[in-house]
Amino acid sequence: MEVRTRFAPSPTGFMHLGGLRTALYNYLYAKKMGGKFILRIEDTDQERYVEGATEVIYDTLRGCGMQWDEGPDVGGDYGPYIQSERKQLYLPYAKQLVESGHAYYCFCTECELKARREAAEARGEVYKYDKHCLRLPKEEVEERLARGDSWVIRLNAPTEGESSYHDAVYGDMTFPNDTLDDMVLIKADGMPTYNFANVIDDHLMGITHVMRGAEYLSSTPKYNLLYEAFGWDIPEYVHLPSVMRDSHHKLSKRDGDAYYSDYVEKGYLTEALINYLALVGWNPGDDREFFTMDELIDVFDISRLNKAPGIFDVDKLTWFNAEYIRRMDFDRYLEIVTPWFDKVLKGKNIDYHRLAELMKDRTEVFNRVPDMVAFLGELPEYSVDLYTHKKMKSNPEVARTALALCLPVLEGIDEADWNETVIHDRLMETIANSGMKNGAVLWPLRIAISGQASTPGGAMEIAYLLGKEETLRRIHCGQEMLASAE
């Protein structure tokens, strides 16, 4: 039997991390088993449809290295792969269920349903549909249909006994049937509900393994009722643990940590995100953490999926991202980091290649880069206290001496010779002849020309990047600050 998995997102906006991980696990399992990964767009809820969201799905999956074998834009033997284009398929199946007694027409209005719901809540009960229209005589149903009354088709769920099924992650699951609702199968607009279309499409597309979020554990018995009513084989279920921010909180749009695009915009690498996301709810069985997509396919095993929610630790993701950047080819790093440099340094005549060399091993997330290099574009305000450094044996008095020592040396370097080697050699010779410690001179110089204690590179590298004119200007500013602090 060929393994066929599917990812069936709704085009309602950006890709949620939980959805992306569901796609990833479906993709990994299909490829591991030599099967097919199918993309299906479930757009039956037209009220939530967002223009352009389907393209976002395509771009996200492709950008993450997950190419589908069948789908809306690549075709296949089981299309169309967009549910709204399959609309005519669903009603005949629903009518078949009505004929067999597994479903029925319901004519209850929204006002009637609201009144019953409020009455149940007033009694302290959990509302579920009371099968009111199941009891309508067949003649009345036919008359109302002929008259054009608004209707939906509902599942006739059992009210006694239990329903059981096996899940690959959670084991044998059993639910009392009196908790099942008579869910709507066909809506008043003629469109199928998500739940009904899911089952019809999974069957017609030959889906063998349904891998989806654990939130569907309790509704799966309703899906199975449909499979059984049609006499169809039930697929293998693989319910996936939730992706959580912590043990009590879901990922949230408000906090900017819910969507794939949130992290891309912040400057996280897609390959780092996918690698880390694979480990949120699954483990390879050893201590290995870094995987390419092909390596994930090779080691993926659904028996190693966890039951407990997976915690999406942004600090751990950031560590992953930093490691990926450190291992990255330099030319690719330079290409990616350049637009981030431009945010604060465009037009400043800074040697980006050299700056990238200094920044590569210090970069954790690209959106942090502008703040780290902004001092090169404009000297920030800083306190005279920065000149004090116990280990470097520096203080404002020492700093005044140090800057006075450095200034004529740097003034004496020709513009044409302004490079790190010359700057280094001239300064180190002068410091050695002065009898001062290196740190006591270079720390004040670093503060004067950067305005901050932590920088990519030291005083020599910063001076080179700034250029002679700007370096001298900043030293003069430092001297004025120190003089006014006396």
CA distance 255 to 148: 48
Provide DSSP, 131-180.
-GGGGS-HHHHHHHHHHT---EEEE----SSEEEEEETTTEEEEEEGGG-
**Choice among 36, 95, 250, 253 that is catalytic:** 253
Pairwise CA distance, residues 318 & 340, whole Å = 17
Burial of 280 per CB tally in 10 Å (0-12, 13-18, 19+): buried
Distance CA 228, CA 223 (A): 9
Return the SS3 of 220.
Answer: helix
Provide the sign of the torsion angle of the four alpha carbons 307, 308, 313, 316, taken in this order: negative
Residue 416: helix, strand or coil by DSSP? helix
Strand partners, 7: 39
φ/ψ of 297, rounded to 5, equals: -60, -40
Distance of CA 270 to the CA centre of its chain: 9
Element housing 38 (H / E): strand 36-39
For residue 383, the tally of other CB atoms under 10 A from its CB is 11
**Residue 67, phi then psi, degrees to nearest 5:** -95, 130
d(CA 42, CA 65): 22
Query: Whats the size of the chain, residue-wise?
Result: 486
Nearest in space to 479 (alpha carbons), one of 450, 458, 455, 448: 448
Contact 127, 120 (CB under 8 A): yes
* Rounded Cα distance, 19 and 31, in Å: 18
- Taking each helix axis from N to C end, the angle separating 396-411 and 420-434, rounded to the nearest 10 degrees, works out to 130
The verdict on whether 253 is a catalytic residue reads: yes
Residues identified as active-site: 253
